[in-house]
Structure 1
Amino acid sequence: MTILITGGTGLVGSRLLRQFVDAGVDCRALVRPGKEVPAGATRVEGDLLDAATLQQAVEGVSAIVHLAAVFRTQNDDEIWRANLDGTKKLIAAVKAHAPQARFIMASTGLVYDANATHPGLEEDETHPTLAYPASKIAAEKELRESGLNWSILRLGFVYGDGDGHLASVPPIVARFKWHPAKTFSLIHQRDVAGAVELALTGAMDGQVVNICDDAPASLYEMARLVGSPIEASAEPLVDPWMGRMDGSKLRSFGFSPKVPTVYQASREGIL
C-alpha cells in the first residue's frame, strides 16, 4: 500500500507521517518547495492549488490522506482557496489518475452549529458561519459527490506529543473572547493516527465520522494543564454545546482511544 499524505509538514500531518514511516508504511508526501519530510518518506514537491503538480503525487497510490488545510489566519480568502479550491483540484487529480484510491479527508468538529442542543452528531445539519468550518463543509460536499471511495474524519481539538496546540488556548480565548468554561471534544495525535489507520482498512468507507476521545475539557482546564492559566468566570455560558461532538459512531467501529483523556496525557507527559 502506498499512501499520499497532504499537509505532511503541518501540526497533524508531520506526526502522522512520522508514525506511519516508523511503522513501515510506504508514504508519499506532497510538500511545497523548501519543506522536508522524514527519512523513509517519498517527497513530492507541489501545491494543491497547482493542478500540474498533482499527477505525480497521486499516480500509483492506493490511498490519499488529505490533511492540508489553512486555519490560523484572519484572511478568509486564503482559507477558502486552500480548503475548498485545493481540495477540488486534488479530487480532480485523483479522479483522473488514481480513481480506485481510497480518499480520506480530515475535517473539523467546528462544523456543528454553535446553537446546537446536543453534542454534534454526524447526521446533524450544519450551517457554520466562520470561514474555516464553512470551507470544510463545502470541501466535504465536493468529496461526497465526487464518485470516489471516500471517508471524512471530523477531528476534535487535536493535541499531544509536543505539538504546542494546547499552548495556543490563551491567545485563542483572547481572540474570540470565548468563555473559559467553553468545552471542546479533544483527540490526541496518537489517536488521530489510530483513526486514520482504521479508515485505511475500509471500515469507514462512505462515512462521516467524529474523531474524539472520551472526555471533553474546558478551555480553562486546558490552559491550566500547560501552565498558562486564563481568567475564570461565573458568567452564564452561551451555546454550551459548541465544540462538543458525539463519538458513538467511532466507537461502533471498535475504536478505543489509547489516550482517553487529556488528564491521562498530562500524567504520561505526552501533552
Structure 2
Amino acid sequence: MTILVTGGTGLVGTRLLKRMVAAGLDCRAIVRAGKELAAGVAAVEADLNDPASLEGAVQGVSAVVHLAAVLRTQNEADIWKANVDGTRNLVEAVKSHAPNARFIMASTGLVYNSDSPYPAREDDAVAPNMAYPASKVAAEQVLRQSGLIWSILRLGFVYGDDDGHLQMLPKLVDMFKWHPATKLSLVHHRDIETAVNLALTGAADSRILNIVDEAPTSLYELTSLVGTPIAPSAEPLTNPWFGQIDGALAASLGFVAKVPTVLQSRRDRSL
C-alpha cells in the first residue's frame, strides 16, 4: 500500500508522517521545492493549485490522506483557493489516475454552529461564518460528490508533541472573547494517526467522523496546564456547548483514543 499525504510539512503532517513511517507504511508526500520531509518519506514536487503537477503524485497510490489547508491568513481568497480549489484539483487527479484509492480528508470541528444544544454531531446542519470552516465545508462537499471512496475526519482542537497549540490559547481567548469555562473537545496528534489508521481499513468509508478524545476540557484548565492561566469568571455561558463535538460515531466504528485526556498527555510528557 502506497499512501500519498498532502500537508506533510505542516504541524499535523510532519507528526503523522513520522508515525506512519515508524509503522512501516510506504508514504509519499507532496512538497514544494526547498521543503524537507520526515525521513523515509518519498517526496513528490507538486502544487495543489497546479493540476498538471498532480498526475505523478497520485499515480499508483492506494490511499490519499489530505491534510493540506490554509488557516492562518487574513486573505480569505487564499483560504478558499487552497482549501476548496486545491481539494478539487486533487480529487480530479485521483479520479483520473487512481480511481480506486481511498481518499481521507481532514476537516475541523469548527464547522458546527456555536449555538448547538448539545455536543455537535456529524449529521447536524453546518453554516459557519468564518472563512476557514466555511471553506472546509465546501471542500467536504467536493469530496462527497466525487464518486471516490471517501471519508472525512472532523478533528477537535489538535494538540501535543510540542506543537504550541495549547500555548496559543490565551491569545485566542483574548481575540475571540471566549469564556474561561468554555470546554474544547481535543485530539492529540497520536490519535490523528489512530483515526487515519481506522479510515485506511475502510471502516469510515462514505462517513464523516468527529475525532476527539474522551474528556472536553475548559479553557481555564487548559491554559493553567501550560502555565499561562487566563482570568476566571463566574458569568454564565451564553453557548455552553460551543467547542464540544460528539465522538460517539467514531467510537462505535472502533476508534479508541490512545491519549484519552489532556491530563494523560501531561503525564506522558507529550503536551
Normalising TM by the smaller chain, what interval? over 0.9
Q: Does 1:25 align with 2:34?
A: no
In 2, distance between residues paired with 1:219 and 1:135?
Answer: 26
Per-residue displacement from partner, 1:202-242 (whole Å, max 9, x unpaired)? Answer: 01000000000000011111111111111112222121211
In 1, distance between residues paired with 2:197 and 2:170?
Answer: 32
**1:65 Cα offset (Å):** 0.1
- Aligned partners of 1:215 and 1:260 also within 8 Å: yes
In 1, distance between residues paired with 2:6 and 2:125?
Answer: 28
In 1, distance between residues paired with 2:72 and 2:177?
Answer: 16
Which residue matches 1:8?
8
In 2, distance between residues paired with 1:30 and 1:181?
Answer: 40
Q: Does 1:118 align with 2:126?
A: no
Which residue matches 1:171?
171
State the one-letter code of the partner of 1:270.
S
Which residue matches 1:195?
195
Matches within 5 A, 1:1-271: 1-271=1-271
State the one-letter code of the partner of 2:112.
Y
**Alignment size in residue pairs:** 271
- Aligned partners of 2:198 and 2:254 also within 8 Å: no
Per-residue displacement from partner, 1:159-186 (whole Å, max 9, x unpaired)? Answer: 1111111111111112212122211100
- Aligned partners of 1:223 and 1:229 also within 8 Å: yes
State the one-letter code of the partner of 2:199.
A
- Aligned partners of 1:6 and 1:29 also within 8 Å: yes
Other structure's SS at 2:153 match = strand
**1:254 Cα offset (Å):** 1.9
In 2, distance between residues paired with 1:149 and 1:268?
Answer: 36
- State the TM-score, normalized to the length of structure 1: 0.98
- Aligned partners of 2:150 and 2:205 also within 8 Å: yes
State the one-letter code of the partner of 1:164.
G
Segments of structure 1 that go 5 or more residues without pairing to the other structure are none
**1:32 Cα offset (Å):** 1.5
After TM superposition, the structure 1 stretch with the greater mean CA deviation from structure 2, 186-195 or 168-177, is 168-177
Other structure's SS at 2:28 match = strand
Segments of structure 2 that go 5 or more residues without pairing to the other structure are none
- In the TM superposition, structure 1's runs of 4+ consecutive aligned residues that sit over 4 Å from their partners are none
State the one-letter code of the partner of 1:135.
S
**1:52 Cα offset (Å):** 1.6
In 1, distance between residues paired with 2:143 and 2:181?
Answer: 35
State the one-letter code of the partner of 2:132.
Y
Percent identity reads 62
- Aligned partners of 1:110 and 1:242 also within 8 Å: no
Task: Quote the RMSD (CA, aligned, Å).
Answer: 0.9
